[in-house]
A and B are shown apart, each in its own frame.
Chain A
Amino acid sequence: MTGKSSTDPIYDTNWPDMPPEIKLKCIRKLKFRDRLSLRCTAKAERSLVDSQKIDFTKGMFWGTDKFLGLMLYRDNHFDVGKCSADIKEEPFKLMNYIKKVGVFENLQFTCGSSFTDNQQFVTDIELFTARQIEFDVYNNANVVALLRKMKDGIESIKIDFHIEMEYSLDEILAVSHVQNVPYWHIKDYNETDSLRKVAQMWIDKNSEVGCTFQVSIEEKDGSFEVFLEHFTDRIVSKNEKRVRIHTNHPDRHILLERGLNDYVEDDDFPQFFRLLVIPTGMKESEYDENCKEWICKIDPEYYDDHDSESSFEEHDDEDDDVDFR
């Protein structure tokens, strides 16, 4: 368009002629794998691509001590995947780049000891940006390490434990994201101290009304009793399903609910519990009597009639390899 004297158009305009703001608009339309390719073409393109955040609806990272993999989704469509047997450098290099540019709606980690053992992961200062995070991990160190690699602003944390493994709840509760998150849960916990510890943490941190914690206990009985005993002098009301205690804040109470109905009975396992910070003025008539809904949130497969269909489409078998340099 510029510098042509003839009225007969000569189309020699191309990408390098585009102003940066137009290039950025086009880069926003590129799939992630294509962005990775574009940033390998030249320094100028790399800095342009790297200046753009990219929204992912879902990110999945998984690994063992033998391999690491990732799958990323944009607008609920599969965008890019990579699986690597080299667990030392390359996947972490890519992961660190994803940390820098990715903004996740939902971020999932399924892993063994693969993250905490990697020096690059441990030392990298970039943080993930995510609204919801989910962990299915086999050791405490990974949960804590990954939680510490998150930026503020997390709205939900879901942790799946494995009953054969030992975890330290204290270490998890010490992470600021856990202390401030509006919703979090632990599935398949196998100790009786979670309700007591979370409620105490909320009291100590003066947590906001609306904070919610849920837990499913796989084998051990007694969580309700441990809570009652610990907060004896704070009890406002109690019955077989609920305990309400006061906090140090005059406007806030904590409500413990046990998930019991026609389907989930007193001696069943897993046991389901929910803790909430509620306003002091909340009446008993305002309590939520439908525990099925919140049980399904922590254990979607518990009720046979629950629709657990994934909203994410399967990706095809196209070559998932991406160019990352």
Chain B
Amino acid sequence: MSSTEQGTSSAAPAEPTTAPESAAAPEVPESFYYVHGKDKVVHKVSAGALQHSALIHGMISNLGYTEEQAKANPFPFENIDGDILQMVVDWCNQHKGKPTPPEDTNLPKQKEKLFDLVLAVNYLEIKELLTYCCKQVAMMVKGKSPEEIREIWMIPTDAEDEAAEKEAKKRAGKEAAGETAAAAGDAK
């Protein structure tokens, strides 16, 4: 598992604590990198675990960081909530260097968390985990009627969609009119 420490929102990332990676240490010392999400909590993750993420793997390859540089410059993922990033890091660690199983029972069952996880995993380009997540999303509506699906996935009806669209257009029109008036005032 990764070691994590509550960080602050200051520019300098908090020093992560290090815990033994596993009982059987590899012969060649492993490289570690650091990531943090919106909550600034820094996660120390091995290069092996990060291989799952095509995005991070690409960043590592391109930057060519030394361990010190990596420590001083955690990869920031400000668009990912801290606990979602924690889930991703945990999954990467659990599946480090292992063939991924056909099912994954450790995925969150709460639908809102699952959707956030899907977005994060898609952003981080973790193909296998995305496949599991999408399967889990599909399972949420297994055997459900259209009305039940609409409720579970909060799908607006066509009427609600149209109303929202009208409202958005109205708002945009008002904003545009306001900008024009302001511009005319400036010109005077």
Contacts from A to B (Cβ < 8 Å): 1-2, 4, 7, 9, 11-19, 21-22, 25-31, 33-34, 37-38, 40-45, 323
Contacts and interface: CB of A to CB of B under 8 A. Distances in A.
Given A1-B80, A30-B138, A45-B155, A40 B112 contact: no
29 contacts: A1-B116, A7-B39, A7-B82, A9-B81, A9-B82, A11-B113, A11-B115, A11-B116, A13-B116, A14-B112, A14-B115, A14-B154, A15-B153, A17-B119, A18-B115, A18-B119, A21-B122, A25-B130, A29-B138, A34-B138, A34-B141, A37-B144, A37-B145, A38-B149, A41-B146, A41-B149, A41-B150, A41-B153, A42-B161
A218 to B, nearest CB: 45
A256 B132 CA distance: 53
B17 to A, nearest CB: 20
A176 B39 CA distance: 65
Given A9-B81, A31-B138, 20 more contacts: A1-B119, A2-B79, A7-B39, A9-B38, A9-B84, A11-B113, A13-B119, A14-B112, A14-B153, A14-B154, A15-B155, A16-B153, A22-B118, A22-B122, A34-B138, A34-B149, A38-B141, A38-B149, A42-B157, A42-B158
Contacts of B131: 25
B110 interface: yes
B160 to A, nearest CB: 9
Interface residues of B, number: 41
Contacts of A7: 9, 38-40, 82
Nearest to B137: A26
A44 B157 CA distance: 10
A19 B157 CA distance: 18
Contact of A29 (B113, B115, B134): B134
Contact of A31 (B38, B40, B142): B142
A40 B141 CA distance: 13
B175 interface: no
A294 B84 CA distance: 58
A22 B119 contact: yes
Contacts of A31: 138, 142
A118 to B, nearest CB: 27
Contacts of A42: 150, 155-158, 161
Nearest to A25: B134
B145 to A, nearest CB: 6
- Most B Cβ at <10 Å: residue of A1, A2, A29: A1
Contacts of B80: 1
Contacts of B149: 34, 37-38, 41
B120 interface: yes
Nearest to A6: B38
A222 to B, nearest CB: 56
Contacts of A9: 38, 81-84, 116
A43 to B, nearest CB: 5
A291 B10 CA distance: 80
Contacts, number: 107
A3 B131 CA distance: 26
A79 B83 CA distance: 36
Given A9-B81, A44-B161, A45-B155, A30 B141 contact: yes
Contacts of B143: 33-34
Contacts of A17: 115, 119
B135 interface: yes
A31 B80 CA distance: 30
A37 B142 CA distance: 10
A4 B149 CA distance: 26
B166 interface: no
A43 B158 contact: yes
B132 to A, nearest CB: 10
A29 B119 contact: no
Contacts of B112: 11-14
A75 to B, nearest CB: 12
Nearest to A28: B134
B163 to A, nearest CB: 13
Nearest to B116: A13
A322 to B, nearest CB: 10
Contacts of B81: 1, 4, 9
Q: Which 5 A/B pairs are nearest by Cβ-Cβ distance?
A: A11-B112, A15-B153, A29-B138, A40-B146, A9-B81
A13 B115 contact: yes
Contacts of B170: none
Nearest to B113: A11
Contacts of A2: 79
A44 B165 CA distance: 13
